[in-house]
């Protein structure tokens, strides 16, 4: 029998993206060699790098390469060099949003994990999070106000100008993301908090009704609660560990997951998975895996970025798109051990001794 193959597309992007991607690939190479797996990946431009090379943030060749693979390992896109472009042509919007829509990556899973060893990284007082934080945000990613039509600007009679975004949800879109939230909760502590604005928005009224019926019918064993988004923002800052699975629509999830990220300390530690409706050649979800942190242009090219989020994103890829849960867990424990043993890049060092990207990567590889 030939060796099982991991076929994925690598999109390093801009800023620190290529540097931390190198780290993630090194980790995957070591692990694959040990587990008898073949890595089959090709690297393609995306974001600002693609604008420079090909004139557009998401070239067709890049999209085709993604379509031919079982998963996408994504770095990050954007930076000051492209900020002068019209918003719709900027790397973030012109690369990420079309990728999400094209591959119907409707489920965004963002673990909010803060190790006990790193509680100092959180802006919250340590007594509020003595054991760190362990929650997950499930964000709907291809619906709502991000994509709803009409989305227009027009000049009114009399000269005033009006802009319109449209928030739309179908019951079927809510049910499929509710399924992901339920599965996530089943694998954790069985608690889901669904966040909406049902006191104001009609989409939220449908959201709450659909979620309530869906859980009552399919997952009565799970503990479902509901919270308004303004309250959820406050509760996240007050007591993040009251949440196990926080589950919400696209724009609320965008905002709340950033709040969760800062509450969890360094962006350099947080990974994410965006899973599609499509199944890959393994019969598992096609997905895009990316760190939460962005391109960090201020430290790009210096070799000092924290590679953990990219490495942990690769672990999520192994888990969700390749069904290699124990290999994913191996990476996750190695990262945790390296941090626990005191290896810290600048963002998580708090004035203590720091290591660079390559040293951090080596420390993780030694602990695999």
The set of catalytic residues is 146, 197, 230, 254, 258
d(CA 27, CA 364): 8
The least distance separating ligand IPM from the CB of residue 93, rounded to whole angstroms, comes to: 5
CB-nearer residue toward ligand IPM: 214 or 289: 289
And the tokens for 343?
A: 């290896």
The least distance separating Mn ion from the CB of residue 254, rounded to whole angstroms, comes to: 4
Using CB atoms, what's the residue nearest to Mn ion?
A: 254
And the tokens for 124?
A: 């919250």
Residue 273's binding partner among Mn ion, ligand IPM, none (Cβ under 5 to 8 angstroms by kind) is none
d(CA 290, CA 12): 10
CB-nearer residue toward ligand IPM: 93 or 101: 93
Residue 236's binding partner among Mn ion, ligand IPM, none (Cβ under 5 to 8 angstroms by kind) is none
Q: Which residue has the tokens 């990613």?
A: 141
The least distance separating ligand IPM from the CB of residue 324, rounded to whole angstroms, comes to: 25
Residue 39's binding partner among ligand IPM, Mn ion, none (Cβ under 5 to 8 angstroms by kind) is none
Q: Which residues contribute to the site for Mn ion (CB under 5 A)?
A: 254
The least distance separating ligand IPM from the CB of residue 234, rounded to whole angstroms, comes to: 21
d(CA 237, CA 179): 27
And the tokens for 297?
A: 């242009």
Q: Which residues contribute to the site for ligand IPM (CB under 6 A)?
A: 92-93, 96-97, 254
d(CA 11, CA 17): 9
The least distance separating ligand IPM from the CB of residue 219, rounded to whole angstroms, comes to: 27
CB-nearer residue toward ligand IPM: 69 or 96: 96
CB-nearer residue toward ligand IPM: 85 or 97: 97
Residue 93's binding partner among Mn ion, ligand IPM, none (Cβ under 5 to 8 angstroms by kind) is ligand IPM
The least distance separating Mn ion from the CB of residue 258, rounded to whole angstroms, comes to: 5
The least distance separating ligand IPM from the CB of residue 178, rounded to whole angstroms, comes to: 20
Residue 92's binding partner among ligand IPM, Mn ion, none (Cβ under 5 to 8 angstroms by kind) is ligand IPM
Q: How far apart are the first and last CA of the chain?
A: 26
Q: Which long-range contacts (CB under 8 A, 24 or more apart) does 219-225 make?
A: 219/182, 219/185, 219/186, 221/190, 222/182, 222/185, 222/186, 222/190, 222/191, 222/192, 223/190, 223/191, 223/192, 224/192, 224/193, 224/194, 225/191, 225/192, 225/193, 225/194
Asked whether the CA dihedral 209, 211, 216, 221 is positive or negative, the reply is: negative
Q: Which of 30, 120, 117 is nearest to 341 (CA)?
A: 117
Give the strand pairing for 152-155 and 161-164: antiparallel
Q: Which residue has the tokens 């673990």?
A: 111
Neighbour count for residue 200 (Cβ, 10 Å): 12
Residue 284's binding partner among ligand IPM, Mn ion, none (Cβ under 5 to 8 angstroms by kind) is none
CB-nearer residue toward Mn ion: 27 or 96: 96
Alpha helix (H) ranges present in the chain? 17-35, 48-54, 60-67, 91, 97-102, 171-186, 202-218, 229-238, 250-263, 308-322, 325-340, 357-366
CB-nearer residue toward ligand IPM: 16 or 32: 16
CB-nearer residue toward ligand IPM: 97 or 358: 97
Residue 188's binding partner among ligand IPM, Mn ion, none (Cβ under 5 to 8 angstroms by kind) is none
Using CB atoms, what's the residue nearest to ligand IPM?
A: 92
């Amino acid at each position: 029998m030939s060796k099982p193959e991991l076929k994925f597309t690598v999109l390093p992007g801009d800023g620190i993206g290529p540097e931390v991607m190198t780290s993630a690939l090194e980790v995957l190479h070591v692990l694959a060699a040990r587990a008898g797996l073949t890595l089959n990946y090709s690297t393609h431009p995306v974001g600002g790098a693609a604008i420079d090379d090909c004139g557009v943030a998401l070239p067709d060749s890049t999209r085709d390469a993604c379509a031919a693979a079982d998963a996408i390992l994504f770095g990050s896109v954007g930076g000051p060099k492209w900020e002068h472009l019209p918003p719709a042509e900027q790397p973030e919007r012109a690369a990420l949003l079309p990728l999400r829509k094209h591959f119907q990556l409707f489920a965004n899973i963002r673990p909010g994990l803060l190790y006990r060893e790193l509680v100092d990284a959180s802006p919250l007082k340590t007594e509020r999070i003595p054991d760190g934080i362990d929650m997950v945000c499930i964000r709907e990613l291809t619906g709502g106000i991000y994509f709803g039509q009409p989305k227009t600007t027009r000049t009114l009679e009399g000269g005033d100008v009006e802009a319109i975004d449209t928030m739309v949800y179908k019951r079927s879109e809510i049910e499929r993301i509710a399924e992901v939230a339920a599965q996530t909760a089943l694998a954790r502590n069985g608690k889901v908090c669904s966040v909406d604005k049902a006191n104001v928005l009609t989409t939220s009224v449908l959201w709450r009704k659909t979620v309530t019926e869906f859980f009552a019918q399919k997952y009565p064993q799970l503990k479902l609660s509901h919270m308004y988004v303004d309250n959820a923002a406050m509760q996240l800052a007050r007591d993040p560990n009251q949440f196990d699975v926080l589950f919400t629509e696209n724009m609320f999830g965008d905002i709340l997951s950033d709040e969760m990220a800062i509450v969890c300390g360094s962006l350099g530690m947080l990974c994410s998975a965006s899973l599609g409706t499509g199944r890959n050649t393994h019969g598992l979800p096609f997905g895009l895996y990316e760190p939460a942190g962005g391109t960090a242009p201020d430290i790009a090219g210096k070799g000092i970025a924290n590679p953990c989020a990219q490495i942990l994103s690769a672990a999520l890829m192994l888990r969700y798109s390749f069904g290699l849960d124990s290999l994913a867990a191996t990476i996750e424990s190695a990262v945790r051990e390296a941090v626990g043993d005191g290896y810290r890049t600048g963002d998580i060092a708090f004035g203590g001794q720091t290591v660079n990207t390559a040293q951090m990567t080596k420390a993780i590889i030694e602990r695999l």
